[in-house]
Structure 1
Amino acid sequence: MDTSAYRTNKNSRGYIYRYHFTSPQGNHPVIVFIHGFPSTSYVWRYQIEFFKEKGYGLIVPDMLGYSGTSIVLETAAYKHSLLAKDLLDILDAEKIQQVIIIGHDWGSAIASRFVQLYSDRVIAAGFFAAGFSVPNPKFDYETVLKFTKEKFGSDLIGYWDFFASEGADKIIEEHWDAFCGLVWADDPRTWDTHLSPRGAIKEYLLSGTVLPPASWYKEEDRQQQTNALLMGGFSGPLNYYKLLLSGLSNDDDATIPVEKYETDKPTFFGVAIEDFKAIIPVVKANFAKSCKNATIKDFETSHWPQLQAPDEVNKELLAWIESL
């Protein structure tokens, strides 16, 4: 990626955001790509190259807590409404009125909140791996674990309490190769055994076992992400999980009017069908219920379709965008 295409902006909260910027050519709209955990703007590198050549404008930030953007330790700073406002500040700084906003993983949650709060600034919205996120002011971690165990036979998000625990950042940093082998796993089924069950990821990281990373996760990707993610440590990124378990997200979700829980904006959902396969039908149904103008496409990938199948992702995204 061309590092000279990156800019920085000090926003209304006083935080510095680093982001890739490409000016749109002709009548092409601007696309905002939002990464999730644990990654940076680099995770969209194939999309940046592809859509830049097509003439689209691009804003691709390193999100709060990551890489060249401010590392903030206060969990409350990561409320989704605040992160959505941070994105709005970037658009305003670049004098961009409307965008196509696309998220992956936690980036999907932030894209959802942006749609809910600033729909007048949104042309359309896309989501990968995680769909449109409906506010849940009554979220309770233990209740969700019980539900997923009963319905799917798995904790599913049993790793959240490790990520939210004291010292998790140091364990991840000290067992980095093992962490990479799990996050960018060669076999996505290892998430069923080493990530989803409560306590499994901590046990794995401390066991001395190192799973092999996926063949599509190239050495240049591993090296770049290692440098970027370890540069600021994991205290910041883990706040995306601490927020949910602290109850702070409930207060934030309660500010969103019920009529915003659905959207009629054109939406795209890139489903990673090897990513927690058991819940895919439910995830698709929920997306179609909340998004009234939805396009849903399956990708034969694990959690990272934009890296694992970039040509297919770019093709389907372009077709959807050109249809708007």
Structure 2
Amino acid sequence: MAAEINELLEHVKLSKVHGVAHDRGSFLLSRLANYYPQRLLSCSFLAVAYRAPGQSMNIDAVNVLTKEKLGYELYGYWKLFEREDASQIVKDHIESFLSILYPEDSSIWREHLAPIGALESFAKSGKVTKRGSYISDEEMATHRNIMKDEYGPAMNWYRCAMQNLNLKDEREAKPDPKIEVPVLMIVAKEDPLSNAMAITAMRENIANLKVVEVECGYWVQVEKEEEVNTALEEFFRSAG
């Protein structure tokens, strides 16, 4: 996928760009920076941190550790997404799923999303929480028109990570984990899924790291659109 981004940039004759990513896109931007560093003027990671290549993902160990540190598993919902029946569960309870995906109060993720079994229980119960004001009816309609209530392909991101399907390629290619261009990490301070350890780990491979904290939940780019865009604009200018 990083190679495809590189080809697209070549096709439209853009030699260098500022890379910006959120959610699973942060993993793709990480690999674009590893495999095609010459394409980037800077990297900006929103809510989800840079992940160095060649590292095994043990989600069970992470959940045990975060349960000890935070009182709840951070990635319990990944365990649902890995299952073959996950997409059907979501489709059968789509209103509950979409309401918890974009909640008005992101703190409910600590109870109804992050812990193991919580998302499945919430969806199957038919509960619906108030949708965040940052997502309009029109935007939700567009989302559903794009996704068609079929989340199986999107869940492949999680399955790929949990099954370490990229690990062999990364260890054979041995891309440089260090990022030489300036990097911005925008932290969503009210995000229950925020991984402070991952953000701290970024400093091992990034010499020029700027961290900006925003008072909002996970969907930082829409919850605090103007604040995030201002931070990005200032960062792009300083990064050249």
Q: Which bracket does the TM-score occupy, shorter chain normalised?
A: over 0.9
Aligned residues: 239
Matches of 2:133 and 2:72 in 1, distance apart?
27
How far apart, in 2, do the equivalents of 1:154 and 1:290 lie?
29
Summarize deviations over 1:233-269 as a string: whole Å, max 9, x none.
22211100111222313323323527x2221211111
CA contact (8 A) 2:62 2:74 kept: no
Q: How far apart, CA to CA, are the structure 1 residues paired with 2:198 and 2:78? A: 19
The reply to whether residue 182 of structure 1 matches residue 100 of structure 2 is yes
Give the 3-state SS of the residue equivalent to 1:186 in structure 2.
coil
TM value normalised by structure 1: 0.70
8 A contact 1:137–1:252 mirrored in 2: no
Higher strand share goes to which structure? 1
CA distance, structure 2, for counterparts of residue 185 and residue 86 of structure 1:
34
User: Superposed, which structure 2 residues align to 1:36-185 within 5 Å?
Assistant: 83-185=1-103
Structure 1 counterpart of 2:171, from 254, 258, 281: 254
1:244 to 141, 161, 165: 161
Q: Find the counterpart in structure 1 of residue 124 from structure 2.
A: 206
Scaled by the length of structure 2, the TM-score of the pair is: 0.93
Q: d(CA) in 1 for partners of 2:109 and 2:7?
A: 36
Indicate if the aligned counterparts of 2:49 and 2:185 stay in contact, CA closer than 8 A. yes
Q: Is contact 1:173-1:230 (8 Å) kept?
A: no
Report which of the two has the higher share of helix: 2
1:320 alignment partner AA: F
State the match for 1:271 in structure 2. 187
C-alpha distance in 1, partners of 2:24/2:193? 19
Give 2:201's match in structure 1, choosing from 277, 286, 295: 286
Once residues 98 and 152 of structure 1 are traced to their aligned partners in structure 2, the CA distance between those partners, rounded to angstroms, is: 40
Deviation sequence 1:276-315 (CA, Å, 0-9, x none): 27743x3432233332111111111101111011111111
Provide the C-alpha distance between the structure 2 equivalents of 1:256 and 1:274, rounded to a whole number of angstroms.
37
Query: Do the aligned partners of 2:187 and 2:194 also contact (CA within 8 Å) in 1?
Result: no
Task: Note the alpha carbon deviations across 1:109-167, whole angstroms, 9 max, x for none.
Answer: 10011000101111111110001111243322222222222233221011101011011
Give the share of equivalent positions with the same residue, in percent.
26
1: CA distance, partners of 2:40 / 2:204 = 20
Q: Which has the higher contact order (CA 8 A, sep 6+)?
A: 2
Amino acid at match of 1:255: E
Taking the aligned partners of 2:70 and 2:88, their CA distance within structure 1 comes to: 32
- State the secondary structure of the residue aligned to 2:229: helix
Q: Is the 8 A contact 2:193 2:218 kept in 1?
A: no
Q: Which runs of 5+ in 2 are unaligned?
A: none
**Do the aligned partners of residues 229 and 245 (structure 1) sit closer, same or farther apart at CA in structure 2, a change above 3 Å counting?**
same
Indicate how the Cα distance of structure 1 residues 305 and 138 shifts in structure 2: closer, same or farther if over 3 A, else same: closer
Q: Tell me the distance in 2 between the aligned counterparts of 1:278 and 1:152.
A: 11
SS of structure 1 residue aligned to 2:186: strand
Quote the Cα distance in structure 2 between the aligned partners of 1:253 and 1:276: 30
- 1:132–1:290: 8 Å Cα contact kept in structure 2? no
- Decide whether aligned partners of structure 1 residues 255 and 213 sit closer, same or farther in structure 2, where only a CA change above 3 A counts: farther
